Structure 1
Amino acid sequence: MTRHSDHRNPARRSPIRCGASRLFERWLCGAAIALALLAFPSDIAFAQATKKPAKEKRSKAAAEAEALAFSHTRGFYEQPFDLTLGSADAPGEIRYTLDGSAPSKTKGLAYSRPVAIRQTSVLRAALIGADGGVRASVTHTFLFPADIVRQSPDGFPPPGFPIQWGENRVDYGMDQDVVNDPAYREEIIPALKSLPSFSLVMDLNDLFGERRGIYANSSESGRDAERPCSLELIHPDGRPGFQIDCGVRIRGGFSSMSFNPKHAFRFFFRKEYGKAKLKFPLFGPAAAQDFDAFDLRCAQNYSWSLAGDPRGLFLRDQFNRDLQLAMDHPAARGDFCHLYINGQYWGLFNTCERPEASFAAAYFGGKKEDYDVVKTGGVGGRRGFGGAVAATDGNLEAWTRLITAAKADLSSNAAYFKLLGRRPDGSPDPSLEVLLDPVNLIDYMLVIFYGGNLDAPISRFMGNRGPNNWHAIRKRTDRDGFRFFVWDAEHTFLDPEEDRTGPFPGESQPENSSPQWLYQQCLDNAEFRQLLADRIYRHCFNDGLLTPKHVVARFNKRVKEIESAVVCESARWGDANPGGGFGGGPPRPVRATPDGLEKPAPLTRDKEWRAEVHRLLNEYLPQRSEILIYQLWRQGLVSDLTPPQFSHPSGRLASGAQLSLAAGDGKVYCTTDGTDPRLVGGKLNPTAQTYTGPLTIAATTTLKARLLAGDEWSPLAEARYETR
């Protein structure tokens, strides 16, 4: 492909329910227990037990936990009730707490009568054995939306919560100016049910204690900064969720600092807490089904809690990852949710997979030990802010070999294809290791470019030299090259004219390098540039997923997901910070409070959030792909040749349908065997046929076509047709 200029000079129902008669029949068949004296309602909810394969023995603790019965299950309630607890085949004393701490023989109340539940409550119950040990432990959260919206209306700590969070800025409660606003007062309670809810329940000293609290000491990290907790997933429509005991840490870099009152969390599933994995389809049936860990992220830089930023969108990071996934690449999946901490509403959060070894094993196969996972930032207990590359799993040996090899003159096919484990002619060489997946690298960079990402994989805040916010994964036991993953994509979708295509100085040492440096090195090679032109055409032209129609549709889907929930975020965090946003700005207007103090006016959905959504829908997304194309064209990376146009897009056709191809001056060559009409070096594929007239589609077919004008090939046009 001809280049115009040198690229180096750029211009809710319980999971298990049964009637009382069946329940007692089951219990009485097991043992003559005095539970028959208890008056249970007709619905009794048990702690959900993960179904295990027939050959796998269920642990004694799991069986006992299933027998620890609650008359009401976790979820949303409008009317108060009396909660009855009981145990069946596992005799012992039941003790419970209501303050989030884990009950034990010496902690909590001995259960003797039903517990009155009159408001939002978290109840942790434990079955204490004759030896004084905890034989089973179950937590249930009961949410009453009518009182949630009135939590700490004056901003004072709720009962049991501290006045201070270490050195952190403190913010409690729901802003009644938002709750009572005519625009939101009929919506805010339904809004609490607009998304799934997570309930984090734990000893408050482990969270806010001066010495031990992870929230109070939010900049600490690693296993020493991990505390035990209970985590529940509650669906508002009554679908089964889960409850699991696990470990929790504060996650994040810049956002973990004490000036940010809203922190994000990472949950770890280990045998020491109960179960070694969370086994639940957290991200749907097509995604991983068990997890070692996952994150609850929250908006950071452009958020209302951190800097009072009116550009708070709460979608930026997730939407960037959505784009990479839509490109048919593995990406960290995520969804949106509400979070409660010991029953207190904590705001809008984002569930997120972590691209680490267990993630890789789930999606690519094999064992965790098969993978190298490389990232920027802190590992091994260090809080990181980018600038250093380290291995979270495996080692840096293959990464070092990749970066070292990429320093060669990659204009040579021998040097370039060596990175891909191929001979100079592009054919696989089993004697060479595969270090790079070029299609993944290109598509990853297109997501970076499209979003105008200022902080990944090279950071503007580090002089466009330091790496930041990226992950890479490689399976050592297969012929797989490093794949790159979008991560922490907050500094995006700002200026539609933003140009992050580079080239940037970057760093060429393995410990300081980045995907962008690799991309820039590979641009020296004509085969890489042709592949880049193909991917640009695939995604940015001809109804590709980065064209306005598709990006707007995907963005609007996420907007509708959180539209109601943003009202809750506004009530919780909209007045947390009087600042003018990330990077400065005029302070927001203040309002007088009943006690004569002044508070910043809250940021709201209908004003600030809708304005930012409107800006993206009307200013950024409609023109961004065209601007990006121009930025790449200036570097000679977009072909002037238009690929052949197919008379039918990919999809289903009647058997025998005729398909026409239209193109400009030159010859059109096409294949139906899955190969490319163009071979390495620009040679014609012997299996390619010259297009002379309509093609008959008689069976399922993958059609690939290019235009050849002189010695220049157009980008690849490709479609798949299924016959009916």
Structure 2
Amino acid sequence: MKEPRSIVHSFGTRYPQQHDDISYGISSDWVPGEFLLDFESHFLAPSPGKTNGEVLFGFVDDVSFSLERGFKEEPFELILSNSTQGAIIRYTTDGTAPTAEHGEIYESSMNVDATTVIRAAAFKDGYAPSSVMTHTYLFLDDVVRQSPDGEPPIGFPFDWNNNLVDYGMDPRVVDQPAYSKEVLTGFRDLPVISIVMDIHDMFGKEKGIYSHARKDGRKWERPCSVEYFHSGPQPGFEIDCGIRIRGGFSRMDNNPKHSFRLFFRDIYGPSKLEFPLFEGSSVTTFDNLDIRTSQNYSWSFGRDGENGLFVRDLVNRDIQRSMGHLSPNGDFCHLFINGVYWGLYNTCERPEASFASDYLKGGKEDFDVIKIQNGGGERTFATDGNTDAWSRLWKAAKKGVKSNEDYFQLQGKHGDGSEDLDSEVLLDVENLIDYMLIIIWSGNKDAPVSAFSGDWASNNWYGMRNRNHREGFQFIIWDSEHTMLKEDLEINRIGPFPAGNEFSSSNPQYIWQRCLENEEFRMKVADRIHRHFFNQGLLEPDQLKALFDHRVDQIKNAVVCESARWGDSQAPNIAGKSTPGRFPLTRDDHWLKVVNYTRNKYLSQRSDIVMAQLLAKGLYPDVNAPVPSFTGEGGAAQLALSAGKGIIIFTTDGSDPRMIGGDRNASATTYQNPIPNSGEFQMLKARTSYEGKWSALLEIEF
């Protein structure tokens, strides 16, 4: 620019591909009168407000590896190559990124005969360096022998500040005949996530995120490489990203096994991870990703052999997703840090604005995402957007929703249930009810109300809503470790609880409790109970066991790997050091007992116990809902309905036989004879009516 604000030169839209941290402009060699386009160049260092600096002659190509990352069984010769004439390849094996001055100069092929992490880049004077390429090679015979004496692996520190330290694979597990082969199978059963980084960024006394696990925020985010691969031919990826410690109570110093969160930002590499990480999911791009591990009731933190199960959180989220609601995907994996096995983990989407945008209509900026923050003082806050709409919902619920006018207004409707386009939609009622049924069934003691606070505080919940659409807040099952416990077979988490009386502890259970004042809401609760607890619903034992068995089968061999790595992890004594000599917790002696109890007792009995609790609270009618049965086959099939006392009233047009307020739907039919197959799918909705009272709704498509 020059005065008076006239343009001297502009590129318009005709310029080459740009690169991070590399500027582009006119070379300082240009003089007036010369053709400008001949002097357009890239520069090694950006220089805003100053004369453009050293011109780049080009960009060094990335280093090629002769063998892909992954599991290896035999030693091999690794060849590194680069197609840029005159470039020098430097590599490291300690997790640090090579630079023009750091790393071994590659001269000839390398023999790789043990678990090895190699990072390589190429450099040439006057050229921008290549990207750093990272490859992890795992030899399982080597992995199962890592630090058998508990001493730090080469390059790893003896201590992590005040954090309890645990290293190594336990020979008492890997050498036991029952496990010596299964530990190898267990490693191959699950995908691997390999984190590779400067060991000081992870464990260093001054800036290590693991050795300062209680620290949070961007200041405690470090660069790393993340690789994802399987033992078979399935595709994988490698990406440079940021990494932090994640979690709340699990950040304690006496926990030697922490969870992580990955952030994909253009300061590290691609701004998004683009990969089909979760089978069956339509979402293949991610802004961030959690790498979670069981904390409460784990072997590494508290040495819990009575309740260590590892699948509770995933099973709870699987239930919500199977009900048709939004729930973060997750899958098990093995985690390695600079080639050292770190245990059984699971990948998990994080339910924030990018997640909402991926699955619901709208951009990230359209969503309010609400959660509870505790640890530094309980506080309901917005991770994205603001709390304005949530505050309006909470205030309306606190005021009371006994009348239909107040209750339906939460849903953007008139008091008769018809849509009111002048009223905002604040609540997704079916989502709230199903969310609470999962909370109640699972005996969740730490979400959304925490029993550990005497039920005065909330914890572990997310709610999200698009401000620009007529959609109410939806709630996400999250961090469900305090569930399905042996001592809690008969626990009652229906409430009411005091948490939520103040906005700082507001939560979905408080909204549920206030809505229970309304007859129409209670009827809807009864309908959702009937859907999920009867007629092969998702909260019937057989359906629950299928979801549970799926997750158990995924890790039944991988648990042996976890046993070898963390089964002998000890709680610290007063001096903060581990107590040596305890036996390791194992799959067959400990984990399988918890699996069998959960499957054969909790999953078998809990639904009946919860139904009795719901009945006692008046949340399910004492009028029996119609019971369906089919006679005949194919076109001759007929649907028969039966009930105890009362008459059965049904519709096939999708409407409810019961009108809002309790009257009979004028278009409904009184059931007398089996209903023939019409040849087309139709939705039958039926209720039993007895002495002015209605049963829960039966919905069946046939």
Q: TM-score, normalised by structure 2?
A: 0.89
Note if contact 1:386-1:466 (Cα within 8 Å) is conserved in structure 2: no
Query: Residues 453, 147 of structure 1: CA spacing in aligned structure 2 closer, same or farther, 3 A cutoff?
Result: same
Say which of 322, 337, 341 aligns to 2:337: 341
Q: Secondary structure at the match of 1:211?
A: coil
Q: Secondary structure at the match of 1:375?
A: strand
Per-residue CA distance 1:49-100 (angstroms, 9 max, x = gap): xxxxxxxx98768x98985311000110011111111123687332211101
* 5+ residue gaps, structure 2: 1-15, 21-57
Query: Residues 215, 579 of structure 1: CA spacing in aligned structure 2 closer, same or farther, 3 A cutoff?
Result: closer
1:362 CA drift (Å)? 0.6
Q: Secondary structure at the match of 1:447?
A: helix
2:29 equivalent in structure 1: none
2:544 is matched by which residue type in structure 1? V
Separation in structure 2 between the aligned mates of residue 476 and residue 386 of structure 1, nearest angstrom: 28
Note if contact 1:64-1:90 (Cα within 8 Å) is conserved in structure 2: no
Note if contact 2:60-2:123 (Cα within 8 Å) is conserved in structure 1: no
2:456 equivalent in structure 1: 465
Note if contact 1:656-1:698 (Cα within 8 Å) is conserved in structure 2: no
Separation in structure 1 between the aligned mates of residue 85 and residue 298 of structure 2, nearest angstrom: 49
1:433 equivalent in structure 2: 424
1:524 aligns with 2:517: yes
Separation in structure 2 between the aligned mates of residue 708 and residue 386 of structure 1, nearest angstrom: 50
1:692 equivalent in structure 2: 672
Per-residue CA distance 1:152-186 (angstroms, 9 max, x = gap): 01000011111111110000010001111111012
1:640 aligns with 2:635: no
Separation in structure 1 between the aligned mates of residue 533 and residue 658 of structure 2, nearest angstrom: 21
Match runs of 1:312-461 below 5 Å:
312-377=308-373, 384=375, 387-461=378-452
Separation in structure 2 between the aligned mates of residue 309 and residue 385 of structure 1, nearest angstrom: 27
1:715 equivalent in structure 2: 696
Separation in structure 2 between the aligned mates of residue 165 and residue 493 of structure 1, nearest angstrom: 34
1:683 aligns with 2:663: yes
Note if contact 2:70-2:137 (Cα within 8 Å) is conserved in structure 1: yes
Match runs of 1:527-566 below 5 Å:
527-566=520-559
Q: Secondary structure at the match of 1:659?
A: strand
Note if contact 1:376-1:388 (Cα within 8 Å) is conserved in structure 2: yes
1:644 CA drift (Å)? 1.5
Query: Residues 93, 59 of structure 1: CA spacing in aligned structure 2 closer, same or farther, 3 A cutoff?
Result: farther
401-410 vs 132-141, which deviates more?
132-141
Say which of 132, 142, 153 aligns to 1:137: 132
278-287 vs 97-106, which deviates more?
278-287
Note if contact 1:656-1:697 (Cα within 8 Å) is conserved in structure 2: no
Q: Secondary structure at the match of 1:442?
A: helix
Say which of 51, 63, 71 aligns to 1:76: 71
Separation in structure 2 between the aligned mates of residue 688 and residue 131 of structure 1, nearest angstrom: 82
1:547 CA drift (Å)? 0.8
Separation in structure 1 between the aligned mates of residue 638 and residue 61 of structure 2, nearest angstrom: 62
1:287 CA drift (Å)? 3.8
Note if contact 2:186-2:555 (Cα within 8 Å) is conserved in structure 1: no
Separation in structure 2 between the aligned mates of residue 709 and residue 511 of structure 1, nearest angstrom: 44
Note if contact 1:234-1:241 (Cα within 8 Å) is conserved in structure 2: yes
1:705 equivalent in structure 2: 686
Query: Residues 170, 65 of structure 1: CA spacing in aligned structure 2 closer, same or farther, 3 A cutoff?
Result: farther
Greater RCO, CA 8 A, separation 6+: 1
Separation in structure 1 between the aligned mates of residue 84 and residue 667 of structure 2, nearest angstrom: 71
Q: Secondary structure at the match of 2:432?
A: helix
1:98 is matched by which residue type in structure 2? T
1:109 CA drift (Å)? 1.5
Separation in structure 2 between the aligned mates of residue 598 and residue 558 of structure 1, nearest angstrom: 33
1:514 aligns with 2:514: no
1:705 CA drift (Å)? 1.1
Q: Secondary structure at the match of 2:158?
A: coil
Note if contact 1:386-1:468 (Cα within 8 Å) is conserved in structure 2: no
Separation in structure 2 between the aligned mates of residue 385 and residue 705 of structure 1, nearest angstrom: 51
Per-residue CA distance 1:20-60 (angstroms, 9 max, x = gap): xxxxxxxxxxxxxxxxxxxxxxxxxxxxxxxxxxxxx9876
Query: Residues 406, 281 of structure 1: CA spacing in aligned structure 2 closer, same or farther, 3 A cutoff?
Result: same
Separation in structure 2 between the aligned mates of residue 272 and residue 521 of structure 1, nearest angstrom: 47
1:688 CA drift (Å)? 1.9
244-253 vs 95-104, which deviates more?
95-104
1:336 is matched by which residue type in structure 2? F
1:466 CA drift (Å)? 0.5
1:334 CA drift (Å)? 0.7
Identity of aligned residues (%): 50
Separation in structure 2 between the aligned mates of residue 566 and residue 213 of structure 1, nearest angstrom: 28
1:192 CA drift (Å)? 0.9
2:642 equivalent in structure 1: 662
Separation in structure 1 between the aligned mates of residue 446 and residue 326 of structure 2, nearest angstrom: 21
Note if contact 1:277-1:292 (Cα within 8 Å) is conserved in structure 2: yes
Separation in structure 2 between the aligned mates of residue 91 and residue 641 of structure 1, nearest angstrom: 85
1:493 aligns with 2:480: no
697-706 vs 275-284, which deviates more?
697-706
Query: Residues 506, 65 of structure 1: CA spacing in aligned structure 2 closer, same or farther, 3 A cutoff?
Result: farther
Note if contact 2:246-2:258 (Cα within 8 Å) is conserved in structure 1: yes
Q: Secondary structure at the match of 2:131?
A: strand
Query: Residues 292, 425 of structure 1: CA spacing in aligned structure 2 closer, same or farther, 3 A cutoff?
Result: same
Separation in structure 2 between the aligned mates of residue 396 and residue 691 of structure 1, nearest angstrom: 48
Note if contact 2:144-2:174 (Cα within 8 Å) is conserved in structure 1: yes
1:482 equivalent in structure 2: 473
Separation in structure 1 between the aligned mates of residue 246 and residue 624 of structure 2, nearest angstrom: 47
207-216 vs 276-285, which deviates more?
276-285
1:219 aligns with 2:210: no
Separation in structure 1 between the aligned mates of residue 329 and residue 206 of structure 2, nearest angstrom: 35
Separation in structure 1 between the aligned mates of residue 633 and residue 398 of structure 2, nearest angstrom: 48
Query: Residues 90, 426 of structure 1: CA spacing in aligned structure 2 closer, same or farther, 3 A cutoff?
Result: farther
Q: Secondary structure at the match of 2:315?
A: helix
CA-based RMSD of the aligned residues comes to: 2.2
Q: Secondary structure at the match of 1:557?
A: helix
Separation in structure 2 between the aligned mates of residue 637 and residue 144 of structure 1, nearest angstrom: 57
1:659 CA drift (Å)? 2.0
Note if contact 2:461-2:478 (Cα within 8 Å) is conserved in structure 1: yes
Match runs of 1:79-158 below 5 Å:
79-88=74-83, 92-131=87-126, 133-158=128-153
1:707 is matched by which residue type in structure 2? T
Per-residue CA distance 1:183-208 (angstroms, 9 max, x = gap): 10121112111111100000001000
Query: Residues 66, 477 of structure 1: CA spacing in aligned structure 2 closer, same or farther, 3 A cutoff?
Result: farther
2:696 is matched by which residue type in structure 1? P
Q: Secondary structure at the match of 1:703?
A: strand
How many equivalent residue pairs? 644
Q: TM-score, normalised by structure 1?
A: 0.86
1:238 CA drift (Å)? 2.3
Say which of 565, 570, 580 aligns to 2:563: 570
Separation in structure 2 between the aligned mates of residue 634 and residue 353 of structure 1, nearest angstrom: 37
Which of these two proteins has the greater Rg computed from alpha carbons? 2
1:697 CA drift (Å)? 2.6
Q: Secondary structure at the match of 1:308?
A: coil
1:413 is matched by which residue type in structure 2? N
Separation in structure 1 between the aligned mates of residue 540 and residue 376 of structure 2, nearest angstrom: 33
Per-residue CA distance 1:230-287 (angstroms, 9 max, x = gap): 0011111121100000000000001111110000000000111110100111112424
Per-residue CA distance 1:609-644 (angstroms, 9 max, x = gap): 111111112221110000000111111111112221
Separation in structure 1 between the aligned mates of residue 59 and residue 592 of structure 2, nearest angstrom: 50
1:183 aligns with 2:178: yes
Structure 1 runs of 4+ aligned residues shifted over 6 Å read 57-61, 63-66
